[in-house]
Amino acid sequence: QSALTQPASVSGSPGQSITISCTGTSSDVGGYNYVSWYQQHPGKAPKLMIYDVSNRPSGVSNRFSGSKSGNTASLTISGLQAEDEADYYCSSYTSSSIRYVFGTGTKVTVL
């Protein structure tokens, strides 16, 4: 089972919107609406930002939104803020012999 593919880095200026892609297969991202996104600041534990493709947990800013088309899921951060600078990982349920797979991770830089 290979990791889901994400761009290594994405950057944007404060106030702008950015989108991070997460590409898998029909056995994971494309086959189920169980895609989630995690934010991780350096030295900290990951934090769930999006689950079930597009749902936000309580307390997560509505500047974060998720979507999916075919085998590719996306995380959009609108109104980019300095505090959004972090690593972001997608993950998906998979029908393979394992249960979950993570994406390769994307470093978001706020210029």
How far is 48 from 45, CA to CA, in rounded Å?
10
Q: Containing H/E element for 83?
A: none
| Residue with Cβ nearer another protein (3 or 10) | 3
Q: Tell me: does residue 23 bind another protein (CB under 8 A).
A: no
State yes or no: residue 27 binds another protein (CB under 8 A).
no
- With vertex at residue 67, the alpha carbon angle to CA 85 and CA 79, rounded to the nearest 5 degrees, is 35
Which among 25, 26, 21, 24 is positioned nearest to 10, based on CA atoms?
Answer: 21
Residue of 40, 61, 67, 78 interacting with another protein (CB under 8 A): 40
Let me know how long the chain is.
111
Residue from 9, 14, 26, 48 touching another protein (CB under 8 A): that is 48
User: Which span (10-18, 38-46, 59-67, 69-77) binds another protein, by CB under 8 A?
Assistant: 38-46
CB atoms within 10 A of CB 29: 29
Pairing of strands 9-12, 106-110: parallel
Applying CB under 8 A, among 29, 75, 101, 110 the residue interacting with another protein is: 101
- Contacting positions for another protein (CB under 8 A): 1, 3, 32, 34, 36, 38, 40, 45-48, 51-52, 55, 57, 87, 89, 91, 93, 97-105
